[in-house]
Amino acid sequence: MSCPDWDSAQPLFLQYLRYERNLSEETLRAYASDLNQFAGYARALPGAGVLAPGSIGPATIRGYLASVHGSLEKTSRARKLSALRSFYRYLITAGFLAENPAELVGHPRVKQKVPAFLTVDAVFHFLDALSRKALEREGSWRKARNWALFESLYSAGIRVSELAGLNREAVIFDEGVVRVRGKGRKERIVPIGSKALEALKYYLSALEFQFAGEFQLPQRKAPTCRPLFLNSRGARLTARSVNRILKAELIGCGLWQHLSAHGLRHTFATHLLNAGADLRAIQEMLGHESLSTTQRYTHVDIDHLMKVYDESHPRSGKN
């Protein structure tokens, strides 16, 4: 089977990612952007005609990565190479090609970054401050929402995109769990704590009481499509807005540490691990397919390490 040209092969690959892999629209846009940038580079090379995937060799890919070396971080260059590798793997699986030129290009060595996280005391300070703001300003659905947002994020450890994508029916209060639709549109059941459930009940009560004067809640044909977390227009809160709200609330609570919503997910995993939770259980709650991904969260702070060492090692000097 002959391989189609680049402009025909790329849409086939993106359709495969959408319908076979069930990847999100955001991920699809990232793949398309990376492939388009490489195609633009390859088309600008001297003597380039109609761009065909089979005409690309490792030297062209190395040249492309060298051309973006000064403008992109290692992580971005590694992502672009991964996009090319995935594209060619698809072409091989589909029977269009026999070799993957991107596999012959060395992957940029990326230093694993450990996301920022909060200590247990800092988390208690932050969430207690949010609850006070919500309870003191009774009826303020926005303050109630912010409390429920971050209690839920820390309690369940879900991704910020998963949090923003929750519908009201996803929270099963009687069972203390939440149905989460994660990467690849896979659904999983995640436990959620009593504090988060309390905050969610308070938020929903405040929302129902006050929404008439603020906005008309969007009506849906299907009752299972009611967004849980709303913005001031009554639409679903976006992941970007969650990060913006988090930054403002951290500063308002006197916590100047730079922390993204992903940092609260990392905080969740770190605290569970430090308290002795099983790594496999944490993997299941985080929704990781591979245990190696979860192991990124297994760092512990030096104080905890020293405490364990002092209490456990027979020659620590403390025994």
Cite the active site residues: 159, 183, 262, 265, 288, 297
CA 77 to chain centre: 20
Residues 6+ apart with CB under 8 A from 279: 273, 291, 294, 295, 298
Alpha-carbon gap, residue 15 to 11, rounded angstroms: 6
CB 278 within 8 A of CB 286: no
Alpha-carbon gap, residue 58 to 97, rounded angstroms: 15
Closest by CA position to 68, among listed 24, 22, 37: 37
Alpha-carbon gap, residue 312 to 307, rounded angstroms: 8
CB 287 within 8 A of CB 188: yes
CB 236 within 8 A of CB 229: yes
CB 86 within 8 A of CB 21: no
Structure tokens at 37: 């940038």
Residues 6+ apart with CB under 8 A from 147: 127, 130, 131, 133, 134, 199, 202, 203
Structure tokens at 207: 């929302």
CB 27 within 8 A of CB 17: yes
Beta strands in 222-290 (DSSP E): none
Alpha-carbon gap, residue 97 to 92, rounded angstroms: 5
Q: Report the amino acid identity of residue 294.
A: T
Going by their DSSP bridges, the two strands 177-181 and 187-191 should be labelled as antiparallel
Alpha-carbon gap, residue 303 to 285, rounded angstroms: 26
